A and B are shown apart, each in its own frame.
Chain A
Amino acid sequence: MSILTSETLSSRFTLSGNVMQTLYRVLAVALLCVALTALSDVFLTANNILNVLRQTALLFLMASGLTLVILTAGLDLSIGANVALSGCLAASVIKITGSPLLGIATGVGCGFIIGLANGVLVTALRIPSFIATYGMMWVLTGITYYYMAGETIHGFPPGFRQLGSGHLFGIPVPVYFMVLFLMIGVLFAQRTTWGQQIYAIGANPIAARLSGVPVERRLVLVYAVSGAMAGLASLIILARINSAQGDIGEELTLPAIAAVLVGGTSLFGGSGTVAGTLIGALLLTLVLNGMNLLQINSSWQPLATGIIILLAVWIDIRTRRIGE
């Protein structure tokens, strides 16, 4: 096992290969910023920058857990629906008990359990991840709509609302979450045995199994983490918009997938980083924010996201071919 992980490490993290890729992405972010500054008077205002950071933080939280899933060559299509159900349950608990802490536990716990269920479907039942999580997405959507019955829950305690709309030293609270989970994510993925095993599973599941990696348990773990992160993201949305509806988070699955892929994590598993996903989330947020600032109808957003996903995967495939 030690041989495998060290090989994986050296081939995945050598700077030479990744530096150029990262540089391109940073360059793309910079170009987007320059273009948006030129095109819109509003872009370079403190308010809008904070807004971009807040949106990036939210997208990153969902995309960071998803990154681990995609590193194992899997996919989690249920995160948007997970946000909706976890958020609505958390909102009910806060309303009924008046306790934000219980609400937070409910949101993250619900997300985690959904993730566990995904993990079981993928490992024990051996259902391909994209179809298992796609089925899960519809199951969750159904439960959420039934539970909410078209109602809206709104008005949360001010303390809870700080999670989404508060500021600390002038910086939105979600940004601190982003930094925290960036550090945890990077340390976990690249400095722990479990993290290395996740890369190994994505690179070659059979080799990973033969070298003693408990593949099933690690897979369940990544889906559970992805689910818990979606639960956490749902809390930040609740706190930000101060209400919960059956359709929150619905439109976030595609951008989260796009953020991971644009951030350089390969859809085929085994290569990519959580830090890259941060750049991806920033890039995607800039595109969507820019479309807003340029007053492009929000109907164009799924279209733009779809095209970005296809481009990102195409670039990934091209780079792999050249690498071979």
Chain B
Amino acid sequence: MSTTALPAQIARVPGVAIALIALCIVFVLTSPGFATSPNIANVLTQSTILLLLALPMTLIIMTEGLDLSIGAVLTFASIILAITAVSTGSLALAFAAALAVGLCFGFLNGALIAVFDIPPFITTLGTLGIAQGLSLVVTDGQSVVGIPRSIETIYSGTAAGIPLPIILAALAYAVTHALLYHTRFGAYVFALGGNREALKVAGISVRGMLIRVYVFGGLMAGFAALLMTARLNSAHPTAGIGMEFDAIAAVAVGGTSFERGNGWLLGTLLGVITVGVLRNGLNLLAIPSSVQVACVGGLVIAALFIDGLRGEQ
């Protein structure tokens, strides 16, 4: 409507877009290295692992759930991937092992939540402890090194000039988008958040659907383990700790609601880039990673606050 007042039009622009643009302006002004093409490529490449976690996190939060274990599962999957690669020399086998770890934890989370009715945040807090404990037990706190060098090309390689991780992440986004918006599974995910009773009335197995959502999260953590291990060329028992927080932050900033089950996958993509830009910009300004963590925390609280205000309207 051309007659709509300007403030009302601005109010319709998603908060995440405003936040992203504001951050970019701040960093362009304060840091000369920010708006260079190598740095932008760097931000995007570094955001790919986070995107792989944030995509399933969006679906999980849409079902009024949460997955606090996804960072610890990523870590454990990365360790199993590295150990398998070192002992067999086969990257394919190693990747399969990482996916299997993700599948097991996803199924465990889903089963505890759907079948035993344990609230998601406490379920995944428990499995976070389990995955973290397993990572420490298996490695005795040491890094796993000696992975075949070929794994590096997965993270640093390019195809047609585009970095491989970006191609893989774009693929993951496309698949998740198709799943969420073009399949019955996706329609059920929307219903799980907003209208669970309707699903039951329609004879859909709510339990089965919930388990599938968490299994999807586990598998994506296994997929992300491939990129993370390739990036570090090693696996470390604390490497992925806290990644779940960045993922939750990206989803929250992207406008997916914790209480009403409204999800927006493109918002999550923008949220991931926002978190990535924030961390990259702070890095360029030589602000320590500890402060970056605090800033991401502040970003989440601000996003949830705005979400709360919109909910009241």
Minimum C-beta distance from A73 to chain B (A): 10
- How far apart are the CA atoms of A136 and B296 in the complex, in Å? 10
- The answer to whether the Cβ of A254 comes within 8 Å of any Cβ in the partner chain is yes
Minimum C-beta distance from B83 to chain A (A): 15
A: contact size bracket: 35 or more
Question: Which of chain B's residues have a CB closer than 8 A to the CB of A130?
Answer: 66, 121
- The answer to whether the Cβ of A153 comes within 8 Å of any Cβ in the partner chain is no
Task: Report yes or no: B258 in contact with A138, Cβ–Cβ below 8 A.
Answer: no
Minimum C-beta distance from A149 to chain B (A): 8
- The answer to whether the Cβ of A307 comes within 8 Å of any Cβ in the partner chain is yes
Stretch from B21-29, B52-60, B123-131, B212-220 at the A interface = B123-131
- The answer to whether the Cβ of B301 comes within 8 Å of any Cβ in the partner chain is yes
Task: Report yes or no: A131 in contact with B248, Cβ–Cβ below 8 A.
Answer: yes
**Which residues 107-149 in A have Cβ within 8 Å of B in the complex?**
121, 125-128, 130-132, 134-136, 138-139, 141-146, 149
Question: Which of chain B's residues have a CB closer than 8 A to the CB of A305?
Answer: 129
**Which residues 284-313 in B have Cβ within 8 Å of A in the complex?**
288, 290-298, 300-301, 304-305, 308
Question: Which of chain A's residues have a CB closer than 8 A to the CB of B112?
Answer: 310, 314
- The answer to whether the Cβ of A278 comes within 8 Å of any Cβ in the partner chain is no
**Which residues 109-129 in B have Cβ within 8 Å of A in the complex?**
112, 116-119, 121-123, 125-129
Minimum C-beta distance from A265 to chain B (A): 13
- The answer to whether the Cβ of B206 comes within 8 Å of any Cβ in the partner chain is no
B: contact size bracket: 35 or more
Closest B residue to A125 by beta carbon equals B305
Minimum C-beta distance from B173 to chain A (A): 24
Question: Which of chain A's residues have a CB closer than 8 A to the CB of B68?
Answer: 134
Question: Which of chain B's residues have a CB closer than 8 A to the CB of A149?
Answer: 288
The dominant DSSP class at the B interface is helix
- How far apart are the CA atoms of A264 and B159 in the complex, in Å? 57
Which one of A132, A135, A297, A313 contacts B122 once the chains associate, using CB atoms below 8 Å? A313
Task: Report yes or no: B133 in contact with A303, Cβ–Cβ below 8 A.
Answer: yes
Question: Which of chain A's residues have a CB closer than 8 A to the CB of B33?
Answer: none
Task: Report yes or no: B308 in contact with A307, Cβ–Cβ below 8 A.
Answer: no
- The answer to whether the Cβ of B141 comes within 8 Å of any Cβ in the partner chain is yes
Closest B residue to A143 by beta carbon equals B294
**Which residues 142-170 in A have Cβ within 8 Å of B in the complex?**
142-146, 149
Task: Report yes or no: B125 in contact with A309, Cβ–Cβ below 8 A.
Answer: yes
Task: Report yes or no: B297 in contact with A125, Cβ–Cβ below 8 A.
Answer: no
- How far apart are the CA atoms of A126 and B292 in the complex, in Å? 25
User: Given the known A-B contacts A125-B304, A310-B123, A314-B116, are A302 and B294 also in contact in the complex, defined by CB atoms under 8 Å?
Assistant: no
- How far apart are the CA atoms of A314 and B123 in the complex, in Å? 10
Task: Report yes or no: A300 in contact with B297, Cβ–Cβ below 8 A.
Answer: no
Q: Which of B125, B130, B141, B305 has the most CB of A within 10 A?
A: B125
Which one of B125, B128, B288, B308 contacts A146 once the chains associate, using CB atoms below 8 Å? B288
- The answer to whether the Cβ of A58 comes within 8 Å of any Cβ in the partner chain is no
Task: Report yes or no: A301 in contact with B242, Cβ–Cβ below 8 A.
Answer: no
User: Given the known A-B contacts A136-B297, A306-B127, A306-B129, are A267 and B248 also in contact in the complex, defined by CB atoms under 8 Å?
Assistant: no
- How far apart are the CA atoms of A145 and B304 in the complex, in Å? 25
User: Given the known A-B contacts A75-B121, A300-B133, are A307 and B126 also in contact in the complex, defined by CB atoms under 8 Å?
Assistant: yes
Query: Which residues on A are within 8 Å of B, measured CB to CB?
Result: 75, 77, 121, 125-128, 130-132, 134-136, 138-139, 141-146, 149, 254, 257, 267, 297, 299-307, 309-310, 313-314, 317
Query: Which residues on B are within 8 Å of A, measured CB to CB?
Result: 66, 68, 112, 116-119, 121-123, 125-130, 132-134, 136-137, 140-141, 242, 245, 248, 252, 258-259, 288, 290-298, 300-301, 304-305, 308
Known: A141-B290, A149-B288, A306-B130. 6 other contacts (CB 8 A): A127-B308, A134-B248, A139-B294, A306-B126, A310-B118, A314-B118
Give 3 closest A-B pairs by Cβ, nearest first. Answer: A306-B129, A303-B133, A142-B294
Selected A-B contacts with CB under 8 Å, 17 pairs: A126-B308, A130-B121, A131-B121, A131-B252, A132-B301, A142-B293, A143-B290, A143-B291, A145-B293, A146-B290, A297-B137, A297-B140, A300-B133, A302-B136, A307-B129, A310-B112, A313-B122
